[in-house]
Structure 1
Amino acid sequence: MDKIKMITPLVEMDGDEMTRIIWQQLKDILILPYVDLKTEYYDLGLVHRNETDDQVTVDAANATKKYGVGVKCATITPNAARMDEYNLKSMWKSPNGTIRAILDGTVFRSPILVKGIVPYIPTWKKPICIARHAYGDVYKNTEMRVEGGSKAELCVTKPDGTEERSLIFDFKSDGVIQGMHNIDKSISSFARSCFNYALDQHIDVWFATKDTISKTYDHRFKDIFAEIFENEYKDKFEEAGITYFYTLIDDAVARVIRSEGGYMWACKNYDGDVMSDMIATAFGSLAMMTSVLVSPDGIYEFEAAHGTVQRHYYKHLKGEETSTNSVATIFAWTGALKKRGELDKLPELAEFAEKLEKATIKTIEDGIMTGDLYLISTLQNKTKVNTEDFLKAINERLTAML
């Protein structure tokens, strides 16, 4: 068969460790034989980020703004141990945080459901979509070590030059301090993205913060959501038969555990990071989660929501066999190809991506899966395969569908 032609390139952001190995295998086995792939490539591996002083991450984000669709591999956010391992010039910030700040969107994450993988929460019958604000908070924080005897204050210099100060803490002994920020514009974009996505998916929206403790910062989120909903979306939600409500995040956690699923749970940035991992794991696996960043002006960046699978990578370097789940990475590619096909009016590209998703799910439901799923699958006849053989098994089904 002739390869499917593309018009506009995807922005391709390569990553680190085992997911980088899977990235290339996936393209070689599942995409390049069928698609005349056009990408603008950026190497976001930690080595190259260090060589470019992380400018490559900024360039990749700006390219995504230019072309409208990007697909990203999992990347390392370095800690002290990584500083030594990679001989880094600096402890570079999270690439995801940098990209999200530039695109200023909302991350939507939903579990990929397959037969044989039963959620750990017995009441969950439908997917729970996590909507994660993708700007500010801890990902753009400022931190300091504080010497005992110091006094820390929050100081804002107003446009007229006057200052407003508030005591944070009078340190009698050594400690640490952290400053975070957000902006009304980004919070408003977050709210509208959530409400629009809920209308598109026909699901309720739950939003949760801790405004009883954070009476200014978190309460600002609550107020903006309420104002936008009342003024712009209330009638639309009533017409669609869906609801919006706000609650404290600890109450939301209790409600989520008792629910049957089938709604959007909107969270601030770090809350969404933690809760999406919890949701993914409780549904079965971190590698069974879709993730897409959607900006207010219609920019899409698809990614795998999990890490770089460091332990498997070290096994791979020793020549040992690995059985690493590639489903989230596959769905990052299919999401990007579907969106590219939709925007460029290439139905054959979108249809190919749909079939690749179906082939992936069918492979698992046929009992062929990687080690993480093998341990939790309830299927009677199942086989654990290695990383590459899983991709080849998907390709057999994809070929049949095509």
Structure 2
Amino acid sequence: MESHTIVVLEGDQTGQELLDEALRVLQPDVIGVELGLPRFDLSIGHRRATGNAVVHEAARAVREHGLGLKAATVTPEAPGDVGSPNRILREEIGGKVIVRTGRRIPGVVPLGGVHSPISVVRMAVGDAYGAREWREGEGDDEVAFRTERIERRICRAVAEFAFRQAERTGAKVFGGPKYTVSPVYEGMLKEEMDAAADRHPDVPYEPQLIDATFALLISSSGAPMVIPALNRDGDILSDLVLPLFGSIAGSESLLVAFDEDGHDTPSALMAEAAHGTAPSLEGKDVANPMAMILAAAALLSHVDDGPCQAAGRAIRESCLEAVAEGVRTADLGGHYGTTAFTDEVIRRTRTKLEVWASL
């Protein structure tokens, strides 16, 4: 069995419990691949104890090994506290693109015409986030200003990854920025989308303005879509798209980094579930581990290695098939606990890979 390394970023509360479930699925006797799984404790207590040094150490490990699996973590609100580990990880890993994919869960009724997967591919840096802000004047004459910026290399990374994601999943590239109103600023992303379309002529391409993208999402034919977006547009789109499937339990989030000299192959990927730490569910064996398990599967699917890709596919199919056959946690109307659901995914993954190996 060939060895690969996934850096494990531990978290808080139910987030950590669900990470542990996903790691059970990644054992070599389940997936047939030997994985190194170095662990870093990113719980809020350890982040405080180390002054965030553990976050920087974890980021270096993800950069070195190229793959990271992160549990949900608590972000304290008090000024001067340790803040969000995601910001540090994003900056130090060099993450340029965030990908969030919503997919239909069997037995869960989606909204509108949404049936096939929708991936939102957005900038991970720049745009409205991190912009310099200030105010001038007083009273009714007070004026607020903000200086935003985007970079062509980030636009190119978003566009290229969107087309490669569409190519890999049989989807169309849909949507885009409000380039008619903002041809200089938002038009930069549209230029890179058009250039990527030329490089990938076999991928269906249907550019739309961002407001039309929102409007057409619910009235679409249900075909799989990949939507490239600016940072804030994509943040809002993700919060709309994922609940369209009736639950975010089938959704994972990927942070993608690229080398400065190209955007063909990611230099690092960090995956996590799209949900939070759910403190009210901690220790009750009722939380749904599916999104965390799918995050692990997504990492394996992006590795340029046949056994890893097969394992990623087997895990993903096993999750969805289990739900289709009534193996559901309480949030999906079932009676299975966290551990029992994972046990069933493990059983199905083993069987599926054994059958494929015999064919």
CA distance in 2, matches of 1:56, 1:179: 32
SS in 2 for 1:26: helix
| Cα gap change, 1:388 to 1:201, in 2 (>3 Å) | closer
Structure 1 residues 67, 241: CA separation in 2 closer, same or farther (over 3 Å shift)?
closer
Shift of 1:135: 1.0
Distance 1:208 1:78 in 2: 34
> After superposition, what is the alpha-carbon deviation per residue over 1:280-325, rounded to whole angstroms, capped at 9, x for unaligned?
1110211211322222331222221221122212xx2xxxx34211
Name the counterpart of 1:161.
none
- SS of equivalent residue, structure 2 residue 110: coil
1:160-189 CA deviation, whole Å, 9 max, x = no partner?
Answer: xxxxxxxx5313399998665443332332
Which moves more between the two structures, 220-229 or 123-132?
A: 220-229
Find the counterpart in structure 2 of residue 188 from structure 1: 156
Give the residue type in structure 2 aligned to 1:308: T
Q: 1:210 to 1:17 in 2, by over 3 A?
A: farther
Could you tell me whether the CA contact under 8 Å between 2:4 and 2:34 is conserved in 1? no
- Aligned amino acid, residue 385 of structure 1: Y
Give the superposed CA RMSD.
2.9
Indicate if the aligned counterparts of 1:97 and 1:139 stay in contact, CA closer than 8 A.
Answer: no
TM-score using structure 2 length: 0.83
Alpha-carbon distance between aligned partners in 2 of 1:235 and 1:138, rounded to the nearest angstrom = 29
2:240 paired with 1:278: yes
Q: Distance in 2 between matches of 1:141 and 1:54?
A: 24
Q: Is contact 1:78–1:91 with CA below 8 Å preserved after alignment?
A: yes
Q: Secondary structure at the match of 1:287?
A: helix
Q: Say if 1:109 and 1:289, in contact at 8 Å, map to a contact too.
A: yes
Counterparts in 2 of 1:226 and 1:353: CA distance versus 1, 3 Å: closer
Q: Which residue of 1 aligns with 2:344?
A: 393
Paired position in structure 1 for 2:4: 8
Counterpart for residue 87 of structure 1 = none
**1:127 to 2:117 alignment:** yes
Pick from 35, 60, 84: which aligns with 1:37?
Answer: 35
Rate the CA distance shift 1:124–1:32 in 2: closer, same or farther, 3 A: same
Is 1:227 matched up with 2:218? Answer: no
Cα deviation 1:122-144 (Å, max 9, x = unaligned): x123222111211124543567x
Q: Residue by residue, what CA displacement relative to the aligned partner does 1:24-56 show, whole Å, maximum 9, x if unpaired? A: 233246636535431232222222222222232
Distance 1:191 1:113 in 2: 25
* 2: CA distance, partners of 1:294 / 1:20: 22
User: Which of 250, 256, 263 is 1:294 aligned to?
Assistant: 256
Q: Determine what percentage of the aligned residue pairs are the same residue.
A: 25
Give 5+ residue unaligned stretches, structure 1: 84-89, 144-151, 153-167, 375-382
Identify which of 130, 139, 145 aligns with 1:172.
Answer: 139
Alignment partner of 1:333 out of 273, 291, 296:
296
CA distance in 2, matches of 1:353, 1:233: 27
Larger Rg: 1
Contact 2:102 / 2:117 at 8 angstroms: preserved in 1?
A: yes
In structure 2, C-alpha distance between the alignment counterparts of 1:184 and 1:29, rounded to whole Å: 39
Instruction: Determine whether 1:268 maps to 2:238.
Output: no
Q: Distance in 2 between matches of 1:244 and 1:308?
A: 37
1:266–1:29 distance in 2 versus 1, CA, 3 Å: closer
Unaligned runs of 5+ in 2: 260-265, 355-359
In the alignment, which residue of structure 2 is the partner of 1:159?
A: none
1:369 to 2:340 alignment: no
Alpha-carbon distance in structure 1 between the residues aligned to 2:343 and 2:167: 38
Q: Which residue of 1 aligns with 2:214?
A: 253
Partner of 1:308: 277
Contact 2:7 2:68 in 1 (8 A): yes
Contact 1:49 1:56 (8 Å CA) reproduced: yes
Give runs of aligned pairs for residues 57-96 of structure 1, distance below 5 A: 57-80=55-78, 90-96=80-86
Deviation string, structure 1 residues 245-283 (Cα, Å, up to 9, x no partner): 141x33321111211242212222233223213211110
1:288 and 1:328 in contact (8 A); partners too: yes
| Number of equivalences | 341
Contact 2:105 2:245 in 1 (8 A): no
Secondary structure of the residue that 2:190 maps to in structure 1? helix
CA distance 1:142–1:91, shift in 2 (3 Å): farther
Amino acid at match of 2:294: F
1:100 match: 90
Shift of 1:20: 0.3
1:171 partner letter:
E
Task: Give the letter for the 2:196 counterpart.
Answer: Y
Residues 1:107 and 1:300: Cα distance change in structure 2 (over 3 Å)? same
Paired with 1:354 and 1:396, the residues of 2 have a C-alpha distance of 15
